[in-house]
Amino acid sequence: MTFLSIMSCNNKAIFIESSQKLSKQESLLSIKIPPNFHPQSKYIQVLKGDSSKNILAYGSNNQIHFFCLESLSLQKSTNYQQYGPEGISTYTGFHVINMDSVVLTSQTSVILTDTYDKILQKLDFIEWNSQHTDQPYLIFAPSRGSRNSAVRINDNIFFLSFQFDLKSDDFKNTPIGLYYNLKDNSMHEAEMKYPEFPSNYTSLSHNPTMAIKDNCLIYSFSVLDEIYLFDKTKGVTNKQNFSRFNRVRVNTNSGGNSFYNQIKRPRYLSIIYDPWKDVFYRIFYPGYEVSGNYDDNYYFSLIATPPVFSVIIIDSEFKIIGETTMPFQHYDPSSNFITKDGLFFGLHENHPEFDPDHLKFARFTVEPINQ
């Protein structure tokens, strides 16, 4: 998806003097993985049940593997068929409800399955689009680490969505997402609409990520400094909130759609809520200066796993209380999860302790900055 240099900020953000930082803990969380298993999936979700028995759902090759974070052992694996009566095609994302129930998305369907590879119900998303809207939707693939996460709201799974060819004024009439009802296998649009965006904002730059707290949906957009709060009782509000990281400057007139400029272009990658610390983490990519003399595979690798990023720490009043810059090519900003023990990031493939036979995560905790 193309990113534009908007980064709007009409007013100065309200900063509290930086008082918190992310502190890396010494030991790595390490899980032995089965053969032929990709050790760097973006499909990841933690099931927060009993906090001492959190389950890590990890996607790979039309499978979901469930690991117990207490015993660091494999509990179960799915093996969804691609073709046939029980075929799901290839999933583009998943939202695990529990160890026996998973919502999958493909390019054509939303599918409720069990974890024994049986389809329970399926909604034809193409047919729904043709009957319910003149401007077809796509669903952002859920459970891509912290990016595009879906959330459970009563009997519904709420998905972030995308529509083509929207201009700034169009968003004021565009729902902020889609509800998939688990009970009756139906889909409907959210009642709340997007706010007024900057005049140069289009669907080419529209890449939201979402967190939820107290039934309020908190949106971070890749090219906007503001955070937006969508609350059915309070309406839509925004909070000025931007990174202090030095950003790479991009010449927007020099092939804005190229891989080269995608790598250079600053953007916010995701927002995550930590219910144990009552803080938000907003992950920021400042852009990366790269030569134009490499083949496409090199550029793809930098886009898939950004080599640099920072984590902004935001308190419950949406004030920035700290920002931590991560070491170069040490962690994958999209492969992350939160438990009561802290914020975990998967290792970058160039990390000195990366191991293709193990899932490895570094643990970070919020600590006060020594004055």
Backbone angles phi, psi at 365, to 5 degrees: -125, 155
Over the stretch 149-187, which tens digit does the pLDDT of each residue have? 899 999 999 999 999 999 999 999 999 999 999 999 999
Backbone angles phi, psi at 296, to 5 degrees: -60, -35
Over the stretch 270-289, which tens digit does the pLDDT of each residue have? 999 999 999 999 999 999 98
| Residue pointed to by tokens 């329970």 | 120
Cα(280)–Cα(274) distance, rounded to whole angstroms?
6
Find residue 43's DSSP bridge partners. Answer: 144
Q: Give the number of other CB atoms < 10 A from CB of residue 75.
A: 14
Over the stretch 60-93, which tens digit does the pLDDT of each residue have? 888 999 999 999 999 999 999 999 888 899 899 9
Nearest to 170, CA basis, from 206, 144, 138, 145: 206
Q: Give the number of other CB atoms < 10 A from CB of residue 48.
A: 15
CB 267 within 8 A of CB 223: yes
pLDDT at 175: 96
Query: For every residue of the chain, which 3-state class applies, written as one string?
Result: CCCCCCCECCCCCCECCCCEEEEEEEEEEEEECCCCCCCCCCEEEEECCCHHHCEEEEEECCEEEEEECCCCEEEEECCCCCCCCCCCCCCCEEEEEECCEEEEECCCEEEEECCCCCEEEEEEHHHHHHHHCCCCEEECCCCECCECCCEEECCEEEECEEECCCCHHHHHHCECCEEEECCCCEEEECCCECCCCCCCCCHHHCCEEEEEECCEEEEEECCECCEEEEECCCEEEEECCCCCCCCCCCCCCCCCCCHHHHHHCCEEEEEEEECCCCEEEEEEECCCCCCCCCCHHHHHHHHHCCCCCEEEEECCCCCEEEEEECCCCCEEEEEEEEECCEEEEEECCCCCCCCCCEEEEEEEEEEECCC
Residue 8 vs residues 96, 222, 257: alpha-carbon distances, Å: 35, 11, 20
Tell me which of 41 and 303 has the higher pLDDT: 303
Over the stretch 308-361, which tens digit does the pLDDT of each residue have? 999 999 999 999 999 999 999 999 999 999 999 999 999 999 999 999 999 999
Nearest to 333, CA basis, from 296, 286, 295, 371: 286
Lowest pLDDT segment from 28-37, 119-128, 303-312, 340-349: 28-37
Q: Are strands 119-124 and 137-139 parallel, antiparallel or unpaired?
A: unpaired
Cα(219)–Cα(230) distance, rounded to whole angstroms?
8
| Residue pointed to by tokens 């054509």 | 108
Q: Is the pTM of this model over 0.85?
A: yes
**49 confidence band (pLDDT: 50, 70, 90):** low
